[in-house]
Chain A
């Protein structure tokens, strides 16, 4: 008898998703899918509102990576008022570095949460461990000191976000052409020296190194499992600087293949010339892919693993992260890693990279400069803008248009989890084929393998389901024999 396995909801991810796996009579996997069943409408309901409020509204799409949405939106606004990167205008040092500071702070705290709260329980207790142990509470009971250090690390990142954006969540900092505030020397010293119950930056870097050590220990003990769990193909996509290495805030988009050779590289303003999006009736999440290669060969992975795959070297000013990246590449023999669980390794490297970048920025006197906005005139108005940043989960794009009178007429958000959709589905299929085929009893532990695979991507389904109005809605009623009894299409 054929069986359908359903995991609903998938836990310890942001948003609501469902996995469906169809097993046939021979106990083999027919198909496996991540169904994203949330439905939202941000791109639609921002229309008609004043353009300068758009990033404030659209950052509310997410309670985790709101900083990335805020900054992608801010870059789009810079273009719209005629002083953005798309207009060939270089942002002033203080606003660019302030935006970067907030961005790296978010990456640090988001990665720490994903790594320790969501993934570490499996690393420390095993995927088959009982569910009541395999969670943050279990982590607290097993190693309260570690959790205490993690909490302080995350708090530090969160406090830095609060300082830059004015609020713990959904703050306001960027305005068209710049920012509304620089960093005071009092705040700078607080984060450098660890005043008021905060860690010092040196302690933060120590904590980031600890994240890597946790991974190394886990890898040492479970090398075969980590290197061979859900190894699935996919190109790798991220923003890069002039040297072709990741730049989390600005650059060109680069796509590399398994040999880390460049497949395509282009200005992100031309994204739609290079990418297309497929839709499926069983999910509200789209499937972007490189037009030239088609969906099968042209789907790309984004996020930590993609970024370390693309990046050949970090800057000399982040020596610890640089060393960690070199170790990653040595281990993978210079090739791109397709091992899903190497994402956790990559995330730990990026925690360290963020911490070192923050230290360098805190020591940069440009953050105290007073020139915060590039002046712009009404004649500079273009009415259209595109902003791309590397959010913690990967490449995030905001594309806006407004009419001459300033009302939003169009918004398109292409978020990291959407970029990863095809690769996540490949991961689910791979895990299902490996662990759920020819099995008489499907245990909770076996099912958790699927969730663990998804969780490596730290997907944010809330962000990924913002679209409205363009996806086909197909309702199919199937009979017991699988035949279609009725079908309606909108």
Chain B
């Protein structure tokens, strides 16, 4: 069943049961996000897709559309809030785009461009995070983890369904962990898929990088915005 909702003062037709973030994309309204992957269960961890729904701020990936819903996406105050969230993510980790293998394919970087971030107004924490490189084919650059939990929820051991990644600790002591035994069972294709799923350069395929020249990298070829509006999964 379809019904109408209002996004940025424009009435649009949406399908019942659809998540707000997808419904917006299907109607040409881009909402930046980092933890959500179209077609997979929502995580609601990053809050970067925050919008105002019926006057209340909420993450667009967590809300199913309802008839008569009034949504503000690009209203300046809401847009500024999303920008601050992205800026906080940069301050919280050690994100060194210039030398990062994921540059040009990194969703955090792409979202930062989308929200027109220049420099973070927050003091940088410069956390000390040890890298984890014990797995055969995965190099975990913890400096770049934004705790989106995509890997935790969506990368599983095929046989047992067990999680391969987990977040241990809380607050500033939180860190992403990897089950090396299970990770070593992943096929090269699965390792590649895990690295692609990571929105930043935290999960890296060992020894692989910089294969696409500048100008041909994922977001050089097609922007994150266009990809989302065309219904791509990430």
Out of B99, B141, B207, B213, name the residue touching A180 (CB < 8 Å): B213
B114 within 8 A of A: no
User: Which residues of B are found within 8 Å of A52, using beta-carbon distances?
Assistant: 101, 207-210
Which of B96, B130, B208, B214 has the most chain A CB within a 10 Å cutoff? Answer: B214
Contact assessment for B134 and A405 in the assembled complex, using a CB-CB cutoff below 8 Å: yes
Question: What is the bound-complex CA distance between A344 and B2, given in angstroms?
Answer: 76
* Chain A nearest CB, measured from B151 CB (Å): 17
User: Which residues of A are found within 8 Å of B207, using beta-carbon distances?
Assistant: 52, 81, 176, 406
User: Which residues of A are found within 8 Å of B101, using beta-carbon distances?
Assistant: 50, 52-53, 56
Contact assessment for B206 and A172 in the assembled complex, using a CB-CB cutoff below 8 Å: no
A166 within 8 A of B: yes
Contact assessment for A167 and B214 in the assembled complex, using a CB-CB cutoff below 8 Å: yes
Question: What is the bound-complex CA distance between A425 and B204, given in angstroms?
Answer: 46
Beyond the given A50-B206, A56-B100, please list 11 additional residue pairs across the A-B interface where CB-CB is below 8 A.
A50-B204, A50-B209, A52-B210, A53-B101, A81-B207, A166-B215, A171-B214, A175-B210, A180-B212, A403-B133, A406-B207
B120-167 CB contacts (< 8 Å) to partner A = 130-131, 133-134, 139, 141
B211 within 8 A of A: yes
Which of A52, A173, A181 has the most chain B CB within a 10 Å cutoff? Answer: A52
A191 within 8 A of B: no
User: Which residues of B are found within 8 Å of A49, using beta-carbon distances?
Assistant: 99, 131, 141
Question: What is the bound-complex CA distance between A166 and B98, given in angstroms?
Answer: 13
The closest CB in chain B to the CB of A408 belongs to B131
Out of B130, B133, B210, name the residue touching A405 (CB < 8 Å): B133
Question: 7 A-B contacts, Cβ less than 8 Å apart?
Answer: A48-B131, A50-B101, A50-B133, A50-B139, A50-B141, A175-B211, A405-B133
User: Which residues of B are found within 8 Å of A176, using beta-carbon distances?
Assistant: 207
User: Which residues of A are found within 8 Å of B96, using beta-carbon distances?
Assistant: 57
Question: What is the bound-complex CA distance between A171 and B210, given in angstroms?
Answer: 11
A172-B141 in contact given A60-B99, A407-B131 (Cβ < 8 Å):
no
Q: How large is the interface on B (under 10, 10 to 19, 20 to 34, 35 or more residues)?
A: 20 to 34
Out of A48, A53, A166, A167, name the residue touching B100 (CB < 8 Å): A53
Q: How many residues of A are counted as interface, with CB atoms below 8 angstroms from the partner's CB atoms?
A: 24
User: Which residues of A are found within 8 Å of B208, using beta-carbon distances?
Assistant: 52
Question: What is the bound-complex CA distance between A403 and B100, given in angstroms?
Answer: 19
Contact assessment for A173 and B213 in the assembled complex, using a CB-CB cutoff below 8 Å: yes
| Complex A-B, nearest 4 residue pairs according to Cβ-Cβ distance, in ascending order | A166-B214, A57-B99, A405-B133, A181-B213
Contact assessment for A407 and B211 in the assembled complex, using a CB-CB cutoff below 8 Å: no
Contact assessment for A56 and B98 in the assembled complex, using a CB-CB cutoff below 8 Å: yes
Residues of A within 8 A of B (CB): 48-50, 52-53, 56-57, 60, 81, 165-167, 170-173, 175-176, 180-181, 403, 405-407
B196-221 CB contacts (< 8 Å) to partner A = 204, 206-216
Question: What is the bound-complex CA distance between A403 and B101, given in angstroms?
Answer: 19
Question: What is the bound-complex CA distance between A403 and B133, given in angstroms?
Answer: 10
A53-B209 in contact given A170-B98, A406-B139, A407-B131 (Cβ < 8 Å):
yes
User: Which residues of B are found within 8 Å of A407, using beta-carbon distances?
Assistant: 131, 133, 139
* Chain B nearest CB, measured from A61 CB (Å): 11
Question: What is the bound-complex CA distance between A214 and B208, given in angstroms?
Answer: 48
How many contacts A-B (CB < 8 Å)?
A: 65
Question: What is the bound-complex CA distance between A48 and B99, given in angstroms?
Answer: 13
Question: What is the bound-complex CA distance between A176 and B204, given in angstroms?
Answer: 16
Q: Residue-by-residue, is B76-117 near A (CB-CB < 8 Å gives 1, otherwise 0)?
A: 000000000000000000001011110000000000000000
User: Which residues of A are found within 8 Å of B98, using beta-carbon distances?
Assistant: 56-57, 60, 170
* Chain A nearest CB, measured from B156 CB (Å): 24
The closest CB in chain B to the CB of A165 belongs to B214
Question: What is the bound-complex CA distance between A49 and B215, given in angstroms?
Answer: 25
The closest CB in chain A to the CB of B129 belongs to A48
Question: What is the bound-complex CA distance between A57 and B213, given in angstroms?
Answer: 17
Contact assessment for B213 and A56 in the assembled complex, using a CB-CB cutoff below 8 Å: no
User: Which residues of B are found within 8 Å of A175, using beta-carbon distances?
Assistant: 209-211
The closest CB in chain A to the CB of B104 belongs to A172
User: Which residues of A are found within 8 Å of B216, using beta-carbon distances?
Assistant: 181
Contact assessment for B214 and A172 in the assembled complex, using a CB-CB cutoff below 8 Å: yes
Question: What is the bound-complex CA distance between A167 and B214, given in angstroms?
Answer: 7
The closest CB in chain A to the CB of B139 belongs to A50
A172-B213 in contact given A81-B207, A405-B133 (Cβ < 8 Å):
yes
* Chain B nearest CB, measured from A368 CB (Å): 15
User: Which residues of B are found within 8 Å of A53, using beta-carbon distances?
Assistant: 99-101, 209
The closest CB in chain B to the CB of A52 belongs to B209
A406-B214 in contact given A57-B99, A60-B98 (Cβ < 8 Å):
no
User: Which residues of A are found within 8 Å of B215, using beta-carbon distances?
Assistant: 166
Which of A165, A166, A170 has the most chain B CB within a 10 Å cutoff? Answer: A166
The closest CB in chain B to the CB of A174 belongs to B210
The closest CB in chain B to the CB of A60 belongs to B98
Out of B130, B206, B210, name the residue touching A56 (CB < 8 Å): B210
Question: What is the bound-complex CA distance between A265 and B187, given in angstroms?
Answer: 48
Which of B98, B206, B210 has the most chain A CB within a 10 Å cutoff? Answer: B210
The closest CB in chain B to the CB of A171 belongs to B214
Question: What is the bound-complex CA distance between A403 and B130, given in angstroms?
Answer: 15
Question: What is the bound-complex CA distance between A166 and B216, given in angstroms?
Answer: 9
Which of A48, A170, A403 has the most chain B CB within a 10 Å cutoff? Answer: A48
* Chain B nearest CB, measured from A474 CB (Å): 29
The closest CB in chain A to the CB of B102 belongs to A53
* Chain B nearest CB, measured from A79 CB (Å): 14
The closest CB in chain B to the CB of A181 belongs to B213
Contact assessment for B204 and A172 in the assembled complex, using a CB-CB cutoff below 8 Å: no
User: Which residues of B are found within 8 Å of A170, using beta-carbon distances?
Assistant: 98
User: Which residues of B are found within 8 Å of A173, using beta-carbon distances?
Assistant: 213
Contact assessment for A56 and B133 in the assembled complex, using a CB-CB cutoff below 8 Å: no
Question: What is the bound-complex CA distance between A166 and B134, given in angstroms?
Answer: 33
The closest CB in chain B to the CB of A166 belongs to B214
Question: What is the bound-complex CA distance between A202 and B207, given in angstroms?
Answer: 42
Question: What is the bound-complex CA distance between A165 and B210, given in angstroms?
Answer: 11
Question: What is the bound-complex CA distance between A294 and B130, given in angstroms?
Answer: 42
* Chain A nearest CB, measured from B62 CB (Å): 34
The closest CB in chain A to the CB of B101 belongs to A53
Question: What is the bound-complex CA distance between A183 and B210, given in angstroms?
Answer: 17
Question: What is the bound-complex CA distance between A167 and B210, given in angstroms?
Answer: 14
